[in-house]
Amino acid sequence: MSSFHPTTIDIAKLAGVSQSAVSMILNHPDDAPFTAETISKVLKAAEKLGYKKRRRAVRSPFSFPKDTILIMCPVLSNPYYSSLVQAIEQTAFAKGYSTVTCSTYRDIGREQKILSRFAHGGLCGIVFTFIPQSCELVEELNQTIPVVVIGDRNTSIGVDTVEIDSIRSGELVAEHLLKLGHTNIAFLSTALNEQNAVRLKRLEGIRQFYRRFCPEGNILVSSETDSSEDDLQDPMIEQNIGFRLMKNILDHKKITAVIAVNDMVAYGAITSIIQAGFSVPKDYSVCGFDNIFASQFPQIFLTTVEHFILEKGHNAMNILDERIRSGKYQSESITRVEYQPRLIIRKSTGKPRI
């Protein structure tokens, strides 16, 4: 007798879909949010392989009101995301929708679990405030539930998107510092990996500009890996990482300017500089990205890049509303709206110390 026990991975390979889609379809075959063709492929593959689903406790049926929008975000502790969520909600409420917001803490398992649990509950649309890690699953969901992603123009995903050019953002900051005379700089970041592509794109833009216009310059990259659990347990994680990374940068005497991966990390770097007895920008120039609301406060006045947080949120919800009202869930064309980043120069940058 064969000892082969097929799994959802085996079914996914045979059906040509993601494992997450298989799990959702097998658990909710009658109301899975996929096309009839996709559901049929999965069920036939499961039957062909002789897959037997484990018995599970019967759950009470769960469903959202038919006007519900799911908003997915990594964290709410960073004002970038909380402001983005609020902008989406403003437009959603004005158009008669209800909203539910879920945080993934940048964990792909949590992301897939939320989609698996909620996507079959009667949602009328989903907005991602970040580039999802489960791109294939999201593209499949988009065939039956309208999805809009707020992300980066350099990352390809087959759904409607509202974008910013993160490489260009990096170039803007690099150009500003180079014009001031900074040739030795540091880039401070939370985890730098493919799961956080926007961070890598910002660094790429900085490096590209310096390679082209200041090949003799030096860019020291310093990052600290933060886990999903860190994001969940410590609302101050980004500032704390910025503080710790800057503390180490102070040992590199040639460095005169620091670019933080976002404004929150920049705040931590500024605190570290001041606590060490130095000043901004006399001793160190500091830049960030996103232009969250606190960056304009007189005590901070951070030079940063405008990423049009509120405008992106409003626009994403408008696109989603058009898709919902048209009834074309599997759109023949993809809408891409791009905002051009803009440098906001404030008092945290100046000429390098002598």
Q: Work out the average pLDDT over 268-272.
A: 98
- Nearest to 242, CA basis, from 283, 294, 307, 286: 286
How far apart are the C-alpha atoms of 30 and 17, rounded to whole Å? 18
In terms of domains, do 327 and 277 share one?
no
Cβ count within 10 A of residue 53: 9
Residue 304: pLDDT band (50, 70, 90) is very high
pLDDT in tens, 132-166: 998 888 988 888 889 999 999 877 788 999 999 99
pLDDT in tens, 91-140: 999 999 999 999 999 999 999 889 888 877 778 999 999 999 988 889 88
In terms of domains, do 155 and 30 share one?
no
In terms of domains, do 236 and 292 share one?
yes
What per-residue confidence (pLDDT) applies to 62? 58
Residue 345 lies in a domain: no
Query: How large a percentage of the chain has pLDDT more than 70?
Result: 90
Residue 290 belongs to domain with CATH number: 3.40.50.2300
In terms of domains, do 172 and 298 share one?
yes
Q: Rounded to a whole number, what is the distance in angstroms from the first to the last CA of the chain?
A: 80
Cβ count within 10 A of residue 194: 7
In terms of domains, do 154 and 283 share one?
no
pLDDT in tens, 200-254: 999 999 999 999 999 999 999 999 988 888 888 889 999 999 999 999 999 999 9
Least confidently predicted of 27-31, 184-188, 350-354: 27-31
In terms of domains, do 199 and 236 share one?
yes
Domain extent for 318: 68-164+309-339
Report the predicted TM-score, pTM, of the whole model to 2 decimal places. Answer: 0.83
Residue 1 lies in a domain: yes
3-state secondary structure labels for all residues of 212-262? HHCCCCEEEEEEECCCHHHHHHCCCHHHHHHHHHHHHHCCCCCCCEEEECC
Q: What are phi and psi of 193, to 5 degrees?
A: -155, 175
* Final residue in a domain of this structure, among 32, 61, 90: 61
In terms of domains, do 251 and 129 share one?
no
Residue 17 lies in a domain: yes
pLDDT in tens, 47-79: 777 777 654 443 444 577 888 999 999 999 999
In terms of domains, do 240 and 175 share one?
yes
In terms of domains, do 294 and 320 share one?
no
Task: Give the count of domains, the chain.
Answer: 3
From the number of C-beta atoms within 10 Å of its C-beta (0-12, 13-18, 19+), residue 215 rates as exposed
